[in-house]
Amino acid sequence: AGKNDGKGRYRFFDPTLSNSLRARSRLKQNLMEAIEDDQFVLHYQPRVDPRDGRLLSMEALLRWQHPALGMVPPGEFIPLAESTGMILRIGELVMDKACAQVAAWRSEGAPLVPVSINVSARQFQRGLVPQQLAAALARHGVPGSLVEVEITESAMMSDQDAILAELAELRALGIKLHVDDFGTGYSSLSQLQRLRMDVLKVDRAFTAELGKSNEGTVFFQAIVSMAHALGMGVVAEGVETMEQLAILRGLGCNEVQGFLVARPMPAREMAQMMKRRYLIDTAVRVA
């Protein structure tokens, strides 16, 4: 052990491998500290009506405020949190923080709109999502109608029967169900209807195609008309340009979310936005 094969291809103690293992275990240790020291915060990104720019709802997005590293985006720690099972505890924190924030906004008299939270497949596999979310709602006195759950297509396809029961429990709490990153997985619209999903959140890869090619627009149009025919709403993710917004309005897309409207922001800034109600001027003409 510890030798290479003479051609420099294999060494048992590969320094890069051990470096990455060390980095992984350091990250894991840091994540455990983050849970204990409450270093997680939620940022909020608004969703608006493409016809008039009115605030309709928002998404809670997890941020890790590390004392030395600064703001760590979820893409850098959610995968490890999932593979280690820490996502179960972190997911519970997310539910609690989102409900606490809704309750705080409510007591400030802010005009309330529903807040969606992201729930990963690992959380659903444990079967604890409905109880945990019901407990968070009750703890903060928040009605289920003010919370929505986002679940990716791939997460829903893994164990349909178990997830079907959990989704039914969430629905009984008055919680609307969103299919996140729609179009990137392999679910059919009939499966999604069977699971009684309320809203399709079309992945931003498809939004990016709008206006670039005729196919891009036709594809989106097909999703909107099928979703509507099946009684589901449509949210476009990653809307960055007025041209995309104008096309989406023409297609009858129900809500848009993206940097064009606003980037995810801390709760205090979001409260200011909530007072404005109309977040962008959709009357601006596309050149």
Contact residues toward ligand C2E (CB under 6 A) are: 45, 61-62, 73-75, 78, 91, 94, 118, 120, 150, 180-181, 204, 238-240, 257-259, 264
153 lies in the binding site for Mg ion (CB under 5 A) = no
Q: Which residues contact 170 (CB under 8 A, 6 or more apart)?
A: 129, 130, 133, 149, 177
181 lies in the binding site for Mg ion (CB under 5 A) = yes
Question: Closest CB to ligand C2E among 231 and 266?
Answer: 266
* Shortest CB 11 distance to ligand C2E, Å: 35
- CA dihedral for 183, 186, 190, 196, sign (positive or negative): negative
Contact predicate 163/192, CB 8 Å = no
* Shortest CB 282 distance to ligand C2E, Å: 16
Question: Closest CB to ligand C2E among 181 and 255?
Answer: 181
* Shortest CB 156 distance to Mg ion, Å: 14
Between CA 152 and CA 240 the distance in angstroms is 22
Count CA atoms within 13 Å of residue 105 on its CB side. 25
180 lies in the binding site for Mg ion (CB under 5 A) = yes
Contact predicate 177/148, CB 8 Å = yes
149: left (phi over 0), alpha (psi -120 to 50) or beta: beta
Question: Among ligand C2E, Mg ion, none, what does residue 120 contact (CB within 5–8 Å per kind)?
Answer: ligand C2E
Report in angstroms the alpha-carbon separations of 134 from 59, 106, 138, 171, 177.
Answer: 19, 18, 6, 11, 15
* Shortest CB 118 distance to ligand C2E, Å: 4
Q: Position 31: which residue type?
A: L
Between CA 43 and CA 63 the distance in angstroms is 7
Question: Closest CB to ligand C2E among 44 and 105?
Answer: 44
Question: Among ligand C2E, Mg ion, none, what does residue 264 contact (CB within 5–8 Å per kind)?
Answer: ligand C2E
Contact predicate 208/175, CB 8 Å = no
Question: Among Mg ion, ligand C2E, none, what does residue 255 contact (CB within 5–8 Å per kind)?
Answer: none
Question: Among ligand C2E, Mg ion, none, what does residue 148 contact (CB within 5–8 Å per kind)?
Answer: none
92 lies in the binding site for Mg ion (CB under 5 A) = no
* Shortest CB 3 distance to ligand C2E, Å: 42
45 lies in the binding site for Mg ion (CB under 5 A) = no
Q: What is the dihedral of CA 205, 226, 150, 251, to 10 degrees?
A: 60
SS3 65: strand
Question: Closest CB to ligand C2E among 73 and 174?
Answer: 73
* Shortest CB 44 distance to ligand C2E, Å: 10
* Shortest CB 5 distance to ligand C2E, Å: 40
Token readout for 59 is 């998404």
Could you list the residues that contact Mg ion (CB under 5 A)?
A: 118, 150, 180-181, 237
